[in-house]
Amino acid sequence: MADFGIGAMAVSSSRLQEITTKLNSLFTPLGMEVHPFKIRWYNEHVSTAYQFDLHPDTRAYVVISTPDMFEKALLPFICSNDHIGSMDVLDRCMQFYFGLVKKEFPDEDVEIIHDFEMTPMRRAKVLVQPACHVAGAAYYYTRKDLNSDPFEDKNIFGVCIHPKYGGWFAIRGIIIFKSVLCPNLQQTEPVDCVPQQEDRVKLLDLFTNHWKDWRYRDIIPVKKRIASTA
């Protein structure tokens, strides 16, 4: 094992596999997916304000919820808790389940950052879409993916599309193992499931201008949808 002098260590591949296996056993039964990435991959894509001041090889995971999450995690959570308080019940549900990670890894320096967490400057603490892209979980389509941009000076929001669930999923946050380095982790490219230029234009238009009718979610044929989403 190599010590990098800031408390973070390169750990064996079996230890990394053990961490992934434990996270999968926690999240898969809840209708969620975890995908590992290195902090460097994320930092390379976001502006300085969003970067993490961590060793570039630090191990992190992006967590996404699939349509099954509502039945497997949210409903049981609602049935087993009282929900007095101002926070969104889904956010509280996610806080609860992500909190189990800290219990599962009592000896690790684990940082959990939810999609809804903001800095005092009202900026997202983490941009989950680039995290999702660099982890190979779902391709993040932006106007940079267009050969010819028809939107001129309009503000166009980017969107991740999952190869199985299209837009019927959400990116719930990231988990950083601050003391665990993974120099040998190989990057997985996300599946480019919207390869046609005209479909990409349609996708960005639907997500930016018509997101309320949810058509952007069906930009590709999907394996499963949900009756309600957030």
List residues near ligand B12 by CB under 6 A.
45-47, 50, 115, 124, 126-130, 133-134, 140, 142, 144, 157-160, 167, 170-171, 207-208, 211
Residue whose CB is less far from ligand B12, 43 or 179 = 43
How many whole angstroms separate alpha carbon 42 and alpha carbon 140? 13
Residue whose CB is less far from ligand B12, 41 or 177 = 41
Least distance from C-beta 60 to ligand B12, angstroms? 14
Least distance from C-beta 38 to ligand B12, angstroms? 13
Residue whose CB is less far from ligand B12, 7 or 195 = 195
Residue whose CB is less far from ligand B12, 24 or 51 = 51
Q: What is the 3-state secondary structure (H, E, C) of the chain?
A: CCECCCCCEECCHHHHHHHHHHHHHHHHHHCEEEEEEEHHHHHCCCCHHHCCCCCCCEEEEEEEECCCHHHHHHHHHHHCCCCCCCCCHHHHHHHHHHHHHHHHCCCCCEEEEECCCECCCCCECCCHHHHHHHCCCCEEECHHHCCCCCCCCCCCCCEEEECCCECCCEEEEEEEEEEEECCCCCCCCCCCCCCCHHHHHHHHHHHHHCHHHCHHHHCCCCCCCCCCCC
Residue whose CB is less far from ligand B12, 127 or 175 = 127
Least distance from C-beta 134 to ligand B12, angstroms? 6
Least distance from C-beta 104 to ligand B12, angstroms? 23
* 105 CB-near residues (< 8 Å, 6+ apart): 19, 22, 177
Least distance from C-beta 49 to ligand B12, angstroms? 7
Q: Which of 132, 116, 143, 157 is nearest to 197 (CA)?
A: 143
Least distance from C-beta 53 to ligand B12, angstroms? 15
Residue whose CB is less far from ligand B12, 93 or 127 = 127
Residue whose CB is less far from ligand B12, 177 or 216 = 216
Least distance from C-beta 12 to ligand B12, angstroms? 29
Cα-based torsion angle of the residue sequence 192, 193, 196, 200 in order, rounded to the nearest 10 degrees: -90
